[in-house]
Amino acid sequence: MTTTATKTESISLGNGIDMVFCRIRAGTFRMGTRGRYTEEEPVHDVVISQPYWLGLFPVTQQQFEQWTQSEAYAAWHAAHGSGDMHANRFSGRPEHPTEQVTWFEACGFCDWLNANVKGRLPAAGLIACLPTEAQWEYACRAGTETDYHSGDGVAALAEAGWYEGNAGETTHPIGGKVENNWGLYDMHGNVAEWCVDYYDAAAYGKRRNCAVDPVAANVCDIEEAPDAKVFRSWVSALQGVLKGDADDGQHRPRLKHLRACIKDSPDVQKNDWLAAASALDSWLTARRLTDNETETLQALIHFFVDKWLGGARRRVIRGGAWDGAACDCRSADRSWNRPGNRFRFVGFRVCLVPGPDDSRKTAEAAASRGDGTPKAVTSRRAGGTGATGVDLAGASFPRRPGAFPPK
């Protein structure tokens, strides 16, 4: 399949700074690849049913700063942000892609565009948002089926993008490598890019026949899961223990319950569950913890937050980055991270679609399309193991806190 998208439009963000968009025609392509990673399989046909516009480049520092250095961002951060305000790792480089952007900030920037430059968009009725994962790969491939839009192998990647083999441990100015067939730059490497979708490793296998405008729904709706309240109570109790302010009347019953669930689990002899049980015993009997036991309970908190309380919020990242391996920059490569995280290798690209389209903000709505997009399902249900009621079978966690790489 070959499609040509040559029309571009530039919009002003103010202060002499513009953003250029390329019109992408509707069409069909083969999404995914085989023989690499299971989350990229099976290869399947996807229909992009309507044209859209995509940023010619990832959002640059100077473009993003039109929002982050405004009162609008300060108000947004006060209402929606958490932690520090945005700052680039490679600051002071206006033509480099912005990075250390959370998914929430990327969406906030799109909302700011909708409020401030909507009348200047290429066509009436368009709204700014993040691209879906399907829109991103369709635009990246631009009619190709090779690993990179420039061909196969690292030599082809070196022509099209900045990665660990040629980036020199830094981002680079946008547009420094060859564009793809549709005129888009930096689709491979430089910075990885947020998509709107929740991450579902099994999404491709759930699609039936030819998927039309797929967007992955929330595959772990923790707020609806009957065990969510239990997991949150365990996290609260464990945090109290580590802070030294645990209230026996409130936390001790929760920790006894957690200890009973671990004891009932068939995996108690595997991984670090035995160490977790031992650490809980130490606190329940003597209210003392060794350094190793403290580390184990810290890891247990991270595990619960990541697998059950945080897993519902994983969002797709595409394209690879300046510090990534060549295979991570492929058109088909899929990665993820939690939307509130900041990384010096993650930025984003703006998409313009016909609106209103509330599904861009609540991707779960796509689950009702019936095109093979996964319907929302809850996290692990109560297992009915003895009196504990929460099944931990098959679950494992790393000893060291924070050891949760996306891939």
Q: Is residue 262 part of a domain?
A: no
Q: Looking at residue 82, what is its pLDDT?
A: 64
Q: Is residue 78 part of a domain?
A: yes
Q: Residue 272: pLDDT band by 50, 70, 90 thresholds?
A: low
Q: Is residue 373 part of a domain?
A: no
| Tokens of residue 342, six digits | 């900041």
Q: Looking at residue 183, what is its pLDDT?
A: 97
Q: Residue 275: pLDDT band by 50, 70, 90 thresholds?
A: confident
Q: 3-state DSSP call for residue 129?
A: strand
Mean pLDDT within 337-349: 92
Domain hosting residue 149, numbered range = 8-214+316-368
Please say if the pLDDT value at position 257 is more than 80: yes
Q: Residue 133: pLDDT band by 50, 70, 90 thresholds?
A: very high
First CA to last CA distance, the chain: 31
Q: Is residue 336 part of a domain?
A: yes
- Classify residue 402 by burial, with Cβ atoms within 10 Å: 0-12, 13-18, 19+: exposed
In terms of pLDDT, which residue wins out, 301 or 32?
32
Backbone torsions φ then ψ of 134, nearest 5 degrees: -70, -45
Which DSSP string corresponds to 21-43? EEEE--EEEEE--SSS-GGG-S-
Q: How many domains does the chain have?
A: 1
Mean pLDDT within 392-405: 40
In terms of pLDDT, which residue wins out, 120 or 178?
178
Tell me which DSSP letter residue 87 carries: -
Gyration radius of the chain's alpha carbons = 23
Q: Looking at residue 376, what is its pLDDT?
A: 26
Please say if the pLDDT value at position 221 is more than 70: no
Q: Residue 270: pLDDT band by 50, 70, 90 thresholds?
A: low
Q: Looking at residue 198, what is its pLDDT?
A: 87
User: What whole-number percentage of the chain has pLDDT above 70?
Assistant: 77
Q: How far, in Å, CA of 27 to CA of 29, rounded?
A: 7
| Tokens of residue 373, six digits | 């997009």
Please say if the pLDDT value at position 31 is more than 80: yes
Q: Are 157 and 329 in contact (CB under 8 A)?
A: yes
- Angle between helix axes 103-116 and 61-68 (nearest 10 degrees) is 80
User: What whole-number percentage of the chain has pLDDT above 90?
Assistant: 51
Q: Looking at residue 384, what is its pLDDT?
A: 32
CATH number of the CATH domain containing 56: 3.90.1580.10
Strands 27-31 and 44-48: antiparallel
Q: 3-state DSSP call for residue 63?
A: helix
Q: Is residue 237 part of a domain?
A: no
Q: Residue 392: pLDDT band by 50, 70, 90 thresholds?
A: low
Q: How far, in Å, CA of 130 to CA of 353, rounded?
A: 10
Q: Give the range among 55-69, 241-255, 357-371 with minimum mean pLDDT.
A: 357-371
Q: Looking at residue 266, what is its pLDDT?
A: 61
Q: How far, in Å, CA of 392 to CA of 46, rounded?
A: 37
Q: Is residue 224 part of a domain?
A: no
Q: Looking at residue 164, what is its pLDDT?
A: 97
Q: Is residue 396 part of a domain?
A: no
Q: Are 199 and 216 in contact (CB under 8 A)?
A: yes
Q: Residue 238: pLDDT band by 50, 70, 90 thresholds?
A: confident
Q: 3-state DSSP call for residue 189?
A: strand
Please say if the pLDDT value at position 195 is more than 80: yes
In terms of pLDDT, which residue wins out, 49 or 405?
49
Q: Are 333 and 356 in contact (CB under 8 A)?
A: no
Q: Is residue 248 part of a domain?
A: no
Q: What is the pLDDT of residues 296-333, one digit of tens each?
A: 888 887 777 655 555 446 899 999 999 999 999 999 99
Helix (H), strand (E), coil (C) string for 327-392: HHHCCCCCEEECCCCCCCCEECCCEEEECCCHHHCCHHHHHHCCCCCCCCCCCCCCCCCCCCCCCC
In terms of pLDDT, which residue wins out, 99 or 376?
99
Q: 3-state DSSP call for residue 53?
A: strand
- Torsion sign over Cα 201, 310, 228, 392: positive
- The overall average pLDDT reported for the chain is 81
Q: Give the range among 166-170, 221-225, 371-375 with minimum mean pLDDT.
A: 371-375
Cis? peptide before 253, omega within 30° of 0: no
15: left (phi over 0), alpha (psi -120 to 50) or beta: left
The most confident of 77-86, 104-113, 355-364, by mean pLDDT: 104-113
Q: How far, in Å, CA of 394 to CA of 338, rounded?
A: 23
The CA-atom distances, in angstroms, between 376 and each of 133, 182, 310, 360, 364 are 17, 34, 16, 16, 7
Q: Are 143 and 149 in contact (CB under 8 A)?
A: no
